[in-house]
Amino acid sequence: MAKERKPIEEKSIWDDARQMLHKAERDGIDTAWDRLEHQTPHCTSCESGLSCRNCTMGPCRISKKAPLGVCGADGDVIVARNFGRFVSGGCAGHSDHGRDCIEALHAVAHGLTEDYSIKDEAKLLRIASELKISTEGRLVLEVAKDLCNEFFANYGSTIDELSFLCRVPEKRKQIWKNLGITPRGVDREIAEMMHRTHMGCDNDAANTMLHTARTSLADGWAGSMIATEISDILFGTPSPRKSAVNLGVIKKDQVNILVHGHNPIVSEKIVEAVNDPELIALAKEKGAAGINLAGLCCTGNELMMRQGIPMAGNHLMTELAIVTGAVELIVVDYQCIMPSMVTIGNCYHTKMVTTADKAKFTGAEHVKFEMHNGMAQARKVVRMAIERFGLRNDKRVEIPEGTIELVTGFSNEVLLGAMGGTLTPLVDAIKAGKIRGAVAIVGCNNPKYQQDYCNVNLTKELIKKDILVLVTGCVTTATGKAGLLVPEAIEMAGPGLKEICASLGIPPVLHMGSCVDNARVLQLAALLANELGVDISDLPLAGSSPEWYSEKAAAIGTYCVASGIYTHLGHPPNITGSEIVTNLALEGLDNLLGACFGIEPDPFKAAELIDQRIRQKRKALGLGE
């Protein structure tokens, strides 16, 4: 029996997406939504985490009839092992990105590149001092070398404690110590997870879950945090600037280049290359009015935060951007890049260029970016895009109209600066109940949901309740398109939040960056806790990832919880096959870590759930409503 197809209007809340989904249908192109239909119904064993492929006595599938794997592992052990590896995959992604950032800074410090430099020396020196690296009377590059060594050490097993644990409130560190989950080294925790989940090792679900928390902490407080801090050092700490969002940022009369992925090391050079007068002249020679650059996903976030480059779209817009027929070239680094983009590109004239040896795509052209040749390679890529302009078929071009303005660039440095260098105004606003709490809404799109319905509605509900919202990752695009990232959005906020944001001239929803930049949220939470002399779990804070899909999002959610921040998810990870693991995630962790997960697909109910939590926390702190 043929399955009934979901109407296009139910796939996304956005006009630009719907218009392109109609065009895709006309052009005979399948997207993630279509492929999801082909993949469903999903295997229920896999969905509940009850299948194991960790050895060749199996694969095993746990059921009432067969409650044990061949080795004797039960459902709880299998679910916990699968979840542990899942989260570790995400930690590896963020943290390996962080390692690439250290290597970049290392190359700069050792004079191995002329293409990159230190843009924010003050931040470099500030972080060095924070980590007790001497700066007095030393050359900046010498300090940078020491900082690199310190960061590299965070990946191995030579230190007892990660460097940035100096930011963590004492009470939180004590909780980790008591549970034996103080993170030691990024690579160490990830490798240990692979070891523990090998057949015949950690066969206690709760114990595996604790190591999952520990591994995620190494991501949040080291891998991701290092990525963020070094990106600021190399490319500048973000500050408020205007930008725009929607597929309408793609321009009909120009050579269009999209950057996609996560690490700004490639895309920052592309920004420079598209501004090269020689290349602009070449584009004009070929009949284009200029060269237009826009971002997708987190590389887009990185460029928007620091350079104001417009955002074409989030995760589920990446395929649809190609369907405009007006994109000459997409240059990618790694993570969240659908391999289908190569195929869809081939249906038009869109070339896909990969840049990292660890993320090659069959059918794409590989232009390897290294620290010593970044600029030359960027020029090469831009020239390739210009060459393709002539191949565009104007009859197949259709670009959704209109763009939405937004304000980006809210780093912690900026927030502190806006408050005169202290957190006191924020603390006062929280105490007075004008800002009742803060929630970081992060993460992705997932074709199982109507695109951005939950992301947008949860945000709107929370600001109505005088809860400040911080966004990163693909939620940025969602809230940007909904007009929530401009100061005028205070009209949608409750009276207290409106008053405070108006006085600071900021939107009620603040864009703090890409997915690794959730480390900024952790840092802010820690600063706030230290200011009040409490633990992070005492604060009226929460996290949420309504439409998440990736291993990385699971890693973020887990390090939030392990750091003491209650975290809402739109749907559970594949753990529901184990009562022990599920109860631990939804309740048990609350006793151990002072925070747990909450699951709720409906954004309005989720807002209530989060609001309840914030109410409790305020009450416990002796704060009124």
Which window, 8-16, 49-57, 130-138, 589-597, contacts ligand SF4 (CB under 6 A)?
49-57
Residue 439's CB: how many other CB atoms inside 10 A?
Answer: 30
Question: Residue count at the site for ligand XCC (CB under 6 A)?
Answer: 15
With H, G, I as helix, E, B as strand and everything else as coil, classify residue 258: strand
Closer by beta carbon to ligand SF4, 55 or else 159: 55
- Angle, alpha carbons 377-378-380 (nearest 5°): 60
Closer by beta carbon to ligand XCC, 442 or else 492: 442
Q: What is the 3-state secondary structure (H, E, C) of 375-432?
A: HHHHHHHHHHHHHHHCCCCHHHCCCCCCCEEEEECCCHHHHHHHCCCCCHHHHHHHHC
Computed from CA positions of residues 305, 309, 312, 316, in that sequence, does the dihedral angle turn out positive or negative?
Answer: negative
Which window, 265-273, 359-367, 546-554, 589-597, contacts ligand XCC (CB under 6 A)?
546-554
Closer by beta carbon to ligand SF4, 57 or else 166: 57
Q: How far is the CB of 575 from ligand SF4 (least distance, A)?
A: 16
Site for ligand SF4 in 58-117 (CB under 6 A): 58-60, 69-71, 73, 78
- Pick one of ligand XCC, ligand SF4, none as the site partner of residue 515 (Cβ within 5 to 8 A by kind): ligand XCC
Exactly one of 220, 374, 473, 603 binds ligand XCC (CB under 6 A); that residue is: 473
Is 250 among the residues that bind ligand XCC (CB under 6 A)?
A: no
- Pick one of ligand SF4, ligand XCC, none as the site partner of residue 399 (Cβ within 5 to 8 A by kind): none
Please count the CA atoms within 13 angstroms of the CA of 159 that sit on its side-chain side.
Answer: 21
Is 444 among the residues that bind ligand XCC (CB under 6 A)?
A: yes
Closer by beta carbon to ligand SF4, 71 or else 504: 71
- Pick one of ligand XCC, ligand SF4, none as the site partner of residue 297 (Cβ within 5 to 8 A by kind): ligand XCC
- Output phi, psi for 439, to 5 deg: -130, 130
Q: Tokens 């699968």 correspond to what residue? A: 82
Site for ligand SF4 in 190-229 (CB under 6 A): 199
Exactly one of 54, 163, 299, 558 binds ligand SF4 (CB under 6 A); that residue is: 54
Is 474 among the residues that bind ligand XCC (CB under 6 A)?
A: yes
Q: How far is the CB of 180 from ligand SF4 (least distance, A)?
A: 25
Closer by beta carbon to ligand XCC, 279 or else 474: 474
Which residues does 512 contact at the CB level (< 8 Å), separation at least 6?
Answer: 410, 411, 440, 470, 471, 472, 518, 520, 521
Q: Tokens 């990159």 correspond to what residue? A: 116
Is 223 among the residues that bind ligand XCC (CB under 6 A)?
A: no
Exactly one of 213, 332, 336, 565 binds ligand XCC (CB under 6 A); that residue is: 336
Is 594 among the residues that bind ligand SF4 (CB under 6 A)?
A: no
Closer by beta carbon to ligand XCC, 298 or else 385: 298
Q: How far is the CB of 297 from ligand XCC (least distance, A)?
A: 4
- Give the strands of the sheet with 566-569, arranged side by side: 509-513, 467-472, 437-441, 541-545, 566-569, 597-599
Exactly one of 246, 550, 574, 578 binds ligand XCC (CB under 6 A); that residue is: 550
Closer by beta carbon to ligand SF4, 57 or else 139: 57
Closer by beta carbon to ligand SF4, 57 or else 112: 57
CA distance 102 to 92: 15
Burial of 550: CB neighbours in 10 Å, binned 0-12, 13-18, 19+: buried
Strands 329-332, 597-599: pairing kind:
unpaired
Burial of 43: CB neighbours in 10 Å, binned 0-12, 13-18, 19+: exposed
Which window, 213-221, 266-274, 352-360, 548-556, contacts ligand XCC (CB under 6 A)?
548-556
Residue 472's CB: how many other CB atoms inside 10 A?
Answer: 26
Q: How far is the CB of 204 from ligand SF4 (least distance, A)?
A: 15
Q: How far is the CB of 20 from ligand XCC (least distance, A)?
A: 18
Are residues 491 and 511 in contact, defined by beta-carbon separation less than 8 angstroms? no
- Pick one of ligand XCC, ligand SF4, none as the site partner of residue 57 (Cβ within 5 to 8 A by kind): ligand SF4
CA distance 615 to 427: 16
Q: What is the CA radius of gyration of the chain?
A: 24
Q: How far is the CB of 303 from ligand XCC (least distance, A)?
A: 13
Q: How far is the CB of 445 from ligand XCC (least distance, A)?
A: 6
CA distance 324 to 354: 21
Produce one character per residue of 558-572: b if its CB has 16 or more CB atoms within 10 Å, e if not. Answer: bbbbbbbbbbbbbbb
Are residues 369 and 377 in contact, defined by beta-carbon separation less than 8 angstroms? yes
Distance of CA 326 to the CA centre of its chain: 27
Question: Residue count at the site for ligand SF4 (CB under 6 A)?
Answer: 14
Site for ligand XCC in 487-516 (CB under 6 A): 514-515
Closer by beta carbon to ligand XCC, 208 or else 550: 550
> Applying CB under 6 A, which residues contact ligand SF4?
52-55, 57-60, 69-71, 73, 78, 199
Which residues are at the interface with ligand XCC (CB under 6 A)? 262, 297-298, 314-315, 336, 443-444, 473-474, 514-515, 550, 552-553
